[in-house]
Amino acid sequence: MLPFEGQVVVITGGAGAIGLATAHLLGEQGARIALWDANAAALENAIAELSGRGVQCTSHAGDLSDESQVETALAAALTAYGRVDMLVTSVGVSPREDAISQKLSTWQRSLDVNMTSIFLASRAVVREMIERGIKGRIVHLGSIMGLSGGGLYPNLAYHATKGALVNMTRAMACEWADHGVRVNSVAPTWVDTPFIGALKADAEAMQRISEVTPLGRLATPDEVAHSIAFLLSSHSAMITGHTLPVDGGFLAK
Ligand SMILES: NC(=O)c1ccc[n+]([C@@H]2O[C@H](COP(=O)([O-])OP(=O)(O)OC[C@H]3O[C@@H](n4cnc5c(N)ncnc54)[C@H](O)[C@@H]3O)[C@@H](O)[C@H]2O)c1
């Protein structure tokens, strides 16, 4: 029997690199997948890839900081599968701007995507889990920048929202533990995805990343996906409210 046989996972930001790597890994291990993302074209490709490998999957395209989109997406997942066992929130934006020149609209958008969308998806999914008596599991995508105030460049909106996610994880874990729902986060270092496309094109930035990372390299989406799978699995049954760095030693320095 596969570890996630028959279980249903919603992955927000599921058409992105880490979300999709997680979908592939969980799909290989028997999960049925619902991918939610704002990027309709990327979602279409993702669904084609997963279906081609025999993974059962559905999708919803929409802005997940919009409450009605989240509710519509959940209704569609429940129609398709009748239940949700796991949630992975992998949406994210990183404006990489200094605070003094940042516009209020950019700051607000960071809060909407990096915090509000996570609240909305978690609330919607957990209500269903509790109503159906499902001992669900949630993993959020944080960042080393949620556990550190410094990086390669000023990025206050990202530091603030990823820092908030650490405590959202703890508070959700405490609030929902009585229902048997576990909530954890992973906090990756820089991961080799289009999210850091601008950095990858900058040789000096890549050199700095290898200098500040004891293991000296970027993480891969697969490495992050395996950590997420651990936190969703029965191997982590006694872990909740935790943020697990997947950081090549960045935070150990
Ligand atoms: N790549 C990295 O270096 C890195 C490092 C640490 C943490 N993270 C975090 O991991 C997560 C995933 O990163 P990734 O590298 O896969 O990035 P990605 O850009 O490939 O994926 C993010 C996905 O989120 C979707 N999205 C953004 N805003 C949305 C919204 N409002 N509604 C619906 N979908 C929306 C995008 O369409 C995209 O598909 C993010 O939360 C990011 O902050 C990434």
Confidence of residue 1 (pLDDT cuts 50, 70, 90): confident
What are residue 61's phi and psi, to 5 degrees? Answer: -100, 125
Atom of ligand 1 nearest to the CA of 190: 3
Q: Is 158 a catalytic residue?
A: yes
Which of 20, 67, 191 to mutate to test ligand 1, by most ligand atoms within 8 A of the CB atom?
191
Ligand 1, atom 41: closest residue by C-alpha:
92
Ligand 1, atom 7: closest residue by C-alpha:
143
Ligand 1, atom 12: closest residue by C-alpha:
90
In order of their start, the domains of the chain are 8-240 (3.40.50.720)
pLDDT per position as a tens digit, 183-199: 999 999 999 999 999 99
* For residues 147-159, average pLDDT: 95
pLDDT per position as a tens digit, 99-139: 999 999 999 999 999 999 999 999 999 999 999 999 999 99
Q: Are 4 and 24 in contact (CB under 8 A)?
A: no
* For residues 64-84, average pLDDT: 98
* For residues 206-213, average pLDDT: 96
Which of 168, 195, 199, 227 to mutate to test ligand 1, by most ligand atoms within 8 A of the CB atom?
195
Confidence of residue 12 (pLDDT cuts 50, 70, 90): very high
Our CA angle for 151, 153, 159, nearest 5°, is: 60
> Catalytic one among 36, 158, 176, 190?
158
Give the model's pLDDT for residue 183. 99
Give the model's pLDDT for residue 129. 98
- Of 20, 10, 13, nearest to 48 by C-alpha is 20
Residues framing ligand 1 (Cβ under 6 A): 13, 15-19, 37-39, 42, 63-65, 90-94, 113, 117, 141, 143, 188, 190-191, 193-196
| Mean pLDDT taken over the chain | 97
Q: What percent of the chain has pLDDT over 90?
A: 98
Question: SS3 for the chain, per residue?
Answer: CCCCCCCEEEEECCCCHHHHHHHHHHHHCCCEEEEEECCHHHHHHHHHHHHHCCCCEEEEECCCCCHHHHHHHHHHHHHHHCCCCEEEECCCCCCCCCCCCCCHHHHHHHHHHHHHHHHHHHHHHHHHHHHHCCCCEEEEECCHHHCCCCCCCCCHHHHHHHHHHHHHHHHHHHHHHHHCCEEEEEEECCECCHHHHHHHCCHHHHHHHHHHCCCCCCECHHHHHHHHHHHHCHHHCCCCCCEEEECCCHHHC
Residue 180 predicted with pLDDT over 90: yes
Confidence of residue 182 (pLDDT cuts 50, 70, 90): very high
Residue 150 predicted with pLDDT over 90: no
Ligand 1, atom 5: closest residue by C-alpha:
190
Separation of CA 17 and ligand 1 centre (Å): 8
- Of 164, 63, 158, nearest to 120 by C-alpha is 63
Separation of CA 202 and ligand 1 centre (Å): 20
Separation of CA 247 and ligand 1 centre (Å): 17
Q: Are 151 and 96 in contact (CB under 8 A)?
A: no
